[in-house]
Structure 1
Amino acid sequence: MRALVLAALAASLCCAAPGPDFGSAFAEEAFVTNQLSDDLMVVDLGKFRSVTTIPIGGKPAGVAVSADGRFAYVTSPDAKAVTVVDAAMRQVVGRIEVGGGPLGIAVSPDSKTVYVADLYAAAVRVIDAASRSVTGSIAVGASPSGLAVTPDGKLLLSADRDDDSVSVVDTATRRRKAVIKVGTRPFGVTIDAEGRRAYTANVGSDDVSVIDIAEGREIGRVPVGMRPYAVALTPGRGFVTDQYGGTVSVFDLSSLKPVKRINVGDYPEGINATADGKRVIVACWESNTLSIIDAVELKVIGEIKTGDGPRAFGAFLRRTE
């Protein structure tokens, strides 16, 4: 297996093949960071095809599309920067120097603030989206990786990989208000639509921690496959990428019991559910593909070729209508 770049510390253009056309009912795009080919690929998920490829540089890894759909923000660990992409025009419109090792990234629900995890420091950088400048830094645990913001925008959660914990940050004061112990080496963190629970993929303990956000504590663990990377949620179910297993583990959100493992491409990493909850999109690093999962039937229904080393770590989907 080829050496991974920076973000693989967690475990440590291209045209799509013909596929079904879901039409206007599936008006969504994927913004996929291809780390080894140094670019960002935009994929029309309704037509199963690549729209364009945008050069980024710096080994892009993390990505977050703003809630208003206007911009995609891309972290480049090697360049120590965040690239701003106009999502509709499909072109780079800004570059923000953040230093360190920018990896995980999240945008506030009002699209005004961007949060960037510095893997090399116990900190999250804060960017003002309007001025495209760093306006502050928030102290968190060691090696922050995945980030997520509650739907009301009041709390930021940081998966602090080397502390086996999640930091809960008050976004108004920009101060850490709680530390929640989870499994070993948490990487991706995802918050549900109600802002009640969070889920971390723990690459060291091969499980998912379930967090009650209001109570500030872990309330359960779900066993999954080898080296889980990130979690996506659909109504009633959680989907977890198992890097070493080449699978996506599915579990029930109520009982926290495993449901199924779905074979996808090699070394799956980034994962998101579409807005309607009917599809789950998986970036597979080794096979250079996106696997498309039917979230109801729990089976792969298509595959799209990407660039080299698709990582897509973050909220990489965008509604187009």
Structure 2
Amino acid sequence: MRALVLAALAASIGRVLVETASAEEAFVTNQLSENLTVVDLATARPVATIAIGGKPAGVAVAPDGRFAYVTSPDAKALTVVDAAARRIVGKINVGGGPLGVAVAPDGAAVYVADWYAAAVRVVDPKEQRVVAEIAVGASPSGLAVTSDGRLLLSADRDADSVSVIDTATRKRKAIVKVGTRPFGVTIDADGKRAYTANVGSNDVSVIDIAGASEVGRVAVGMRPYAVALAQGRGFVTDQYGGTVSVFDLATLKPVTRITVGDYPEGIAATADGKWIIVANWDSNSLSIIDAVELKVTSEVKVGDGPRAFGAFLRRTQ
């Protein structure tokens, strides 16, 4: 009888996932096993493994879902993956130490942060080559582009600042001082505010993008890595805490902390805002969080050392 109850519960959970997240996949960079795991969020199961090499870290799925772009710091390369076919279709030498990556809304440019050169490389994905370089602050890590494609933000970790870049001129137009050691950066859907996870000061900086200024600071857990936005809340991975800190976007007040796997890093919200997906480095897993109920509903095993640093979710419909 107990087995039947458990089977029914598992089927029920599966139906919930199918109803809410059936049209998305997670493309997870596994730095230690040097590959990419594709997870079907409808079934909460891995469906493909793609060898990448070079200790892959950053990942960005193009807005149209056709390609996933993966940075490999050790190989100094950007790998282009056909997302539907699950195969590599290009490898671009970008030099330096590529880490964060972002794709323009129209897919016409891919931006790669070079950790060592204090620069962002601009890649033409059609020609598969670097076409420009933009000077930013020291140790650029996370990148994000506004929904209109006009501005690119770079979290410059060792400069304790965020660079605001005009994508048309490919010039830095403003520098915003934030907390200590900003790493991940996320822009809201309206393109009005950005949020940086500050690894050194254990907080999140809130940036008014138009005013190029920090307008708030939110205390979170130890060694925050990246931020996701959903349901009027911010969700922050706390690497040392093994938690996700949740805060209210309107009041900037803490809401709760959710226990996930060990050493959580990459984090993203599904397109419908109902689920938060977290990559746990030490647990070799993804935690799936119900963004409304604020609880973990399932865990998915992936490769060794998952980072999933960037926009790693892909809509399939």
> Aligning the two structures, in what range does the TM-score lie when normalised by the shorter sequence?
over 0.9
Aligned counterparts, 1:6-45, within 5 A: 20-21=14-15, 22-23=17-18, 25-26=20-21, 27-45=23-41
**2:119·2:137 contact (CA, 8 Å) conserved in 1?**
yes
CA deviations over 1:202-224 (Å, ceiling 9, x no partner): 00000000000001100000000
Give 1:141's aligned residue: 137
Distance in 2 between the 1:23 and 1:249 partners?
A: 26
The answer to whether structure 1 residue 93 and structure 2 residue 109 are counterparts is no
The alignment's TM-score, normalised by the length of structure 1, stands at: 0.94
Aligned length: 305
Gaps of 5+ in 1: 1-16
- CA distance in structure 2 between the partners assigned to 1:25 and 1:182 by the alignment: 36
1:65 to 61, 69, 74: 61
The reply on whether 1:295 has 2:291 as its aligned counterpart is yes
Aligned positions of 1:154-173 closer than 5 A = 154-173=150-169
For residue 300 of structure 2, what is the aligned residue in structure 1?
304
Provide the rounded CA distance (Å) in 1 between the counterparts of 2:14 and 2:59.
26
- Identify unmatched segments of 5+ residues in structure 2: 1-9
SS at match of 2:14: coil
TM-superposition CA deviations, 1:220-247 (whole Å, max 9, x none): 0000000000000013100000000000
- Structure 1 distance, partners of 2:277, 2:39, is 11
Are 1:52 and 2:48 an aligned pair?
A: yes
Q: State whether residues 231 and 291 of structure 2, in contact with CA within 8 Å, keep that contact through their aligned partners in structure 1.
A: no
Partner of 1:231: 227
Q: Deviations over 1:75-108 (max 9, x none)?
A: 0000000000000000000000000000000000
Alpha-carbon distance in structure 1 between the residues aligned to 2:230 and 2:131? 34
Cα distance in 2 for partners of 1:213, 1:124 equals 19
- Match of 1:67, SS state, is coil
SS at match of 1:100: coil
Q: Deviations over 1:245-284 (max 9, x none)?
A: 0000000000000000000000000000000000000000
Q: Deviations over 1:265-311 (max 9, x none)?
A: 00000000000000000000000000000000000000000100000
Query: Deviation digits for residues 3-37 of structure 1, max 9, x if unmatched?
Result: xxxxxxxxxxxxxx996242254210000000000
Query: Matches of residues 105-184 of structure 1 in structure 2 within 5 Å?
Result: 105-184=101-180
Match of 1:283 in 2: 279
User: What is the CA RMSD across the aligned residues, in angstroms?
Assistant: 1.1
Q: 1:211 — aligned with what?
A: 207
Residue of structure 2 aligned with 1:220, choices 207, 216, 219: 216
Normalising by structure 2, what TM-score?
A: 0.95
Q: Does 2:99 match 1:103?
A: yes
* Amino acid paired to 2:14: P
CA offset at residue 132 of structure 1? 1.1
Identity %: 76
SS of equivalent residue, structure 2 residue 158: helix
Given residue 20 of structure 1, which amino acid in structure 2 is its aligned partner? G
Report how far residue 51 of structure 1 moved.
Answer: 0.5
Q: State how far apart, in whole Å, the 2-side matches of 1:247 and 1:160 are.
A: 24
Asked if structure 1 preserves the Cα contact closer than 8 Å seen for 2:192 and 2:208, the reply is: yes
Task: Tell me whether 1:77 sits opposite 2:73 in the alignment.
Answer: yes
What one-letter code is carried by the residue in structure 1 that aligns with 2:18?
G
- Mapping for residues 190-201 of structure 1, pairs under 5 Å: 190-201=186-197
In 2: Cα distance, 1:251 partner to 1:133 partner = 40
Q: Could you tell me which amino acid in structure 1 is paired with residue 310 of structure 2?
A: G
In the alignment, the residues of structure 1 paired with residue 79 and residue 268 of structure 2 have an alpha-carbon distance, to the nearest angstrom, of: 21
> Separation in 2 of the partners of 1:168 and 1:203?
20
Equivalent position of 1:245 in the other structure: 241
Tell me the secondary structure at the aligned position of residue 20 of structure 1. helix
Maintained 8 Å contact 2:284/2:306: yes
Q: Deviations over 1:92-125 (max 9, x none)?
A: 0000000000000000011110000000111000
Aligned amino acid, residue 211 of structure 1 = I
Partner Cα distance (2:32, 2:103) in 1:
25
Q: Whole-Å Cα distance in 2 between the matches of residues 157 and 48 of structure 1?
A: 32
- 1: CA distance, partners of 2:145 / 2:139: 18
Secondary structure in structure 1 of the residue aligned to 2:42: coil
> Does 1:261 find its partner at 2:275?
no
